[in-house]
Amino acid sequence: MLAEGETLVTGRNRFRFLETPQVPHGWDACLLFEETDNTLFCSDLFLQNGNLEPTTENDILGRAKKALIGFEAGPLANSTQYTEKTERTLYRLADLNPKRLAAMHGSTFVGNGGKAMRDLAVMMREVLAS
C-alpha cells in the first residue's frame, strides 16, 4: 500500500497515490495521478452515461452533471456525498494541472483538466449541496 503522496515507478511512468476521502465515494476513496503524462485517473468523478467516444476534447462537465442529477433522482441517490472537504479536495486535484482526466465511466477528457476540476467543484456543490 502506498501512503498519501508516495509514487510508484513502473518503467517510464510515475504514479502518485492521492487520498481523497469521500471524493467521489466512501472514506477509503483514492486516486492516481500519472506524473509523466499528467493523467489523473479520476474514478467516478466526471461519470458519464451512454455509449461515448473513448476520448474527447469537448467539455465533459455537462455530461457529468446530467449523470449526477439522474443518479440523485433514482435508486443511486446519495451515492456521491458533498462535504466541507469536497471542494478543497477537488481544488487540490485541480492544482495538479492534469492534461487528461481518465474517467472510469465515460470518455477521457483531453485538455485543461485543472479548469474542468474547478468547474466540477462548482457543479457538485450546486447539485449535491442544495
pLDDT in tens, 62-78: 999 999 999 899 988 88
Give the pLDDT confidence score for residue 114 in this predicted structure: 97
CA proximity to 80, closest of 52, 120, 50: 120
Residue 24 grid coordinates = 467521489
Cis-peptide into 24, omega within 30 deg: yes
Q: How far separated are the first and last CA of the chain, in Å rounded?
A: 36
Tell me how far CA of residue 103 lies from CA of 3, 39, 56, 109, in angstroms: 23, 10, 11, 8
pTM listed for this prediction: 0.91
Q: For residue 7, which phi and psi values (nearest 5 degrees)?
A: -120, 150
Give the pLDDT confidence score for residue 81 in this predicted structure: 83
Residue 1 clears pLDDT 80, i.e. is over it: no
Q: Please name the residues in contact with 72: beta carbons below 8 A apart, sequence gap of 6 or more.
A: 78, 127, 128
Give the pLDDT confidence score for residue 80 in this predicted structure: 85
The SS3 assignment for 74 reads: coil
All domains of the chain in start order, with CATH = 7-48+60-128 (3.60.15.10)
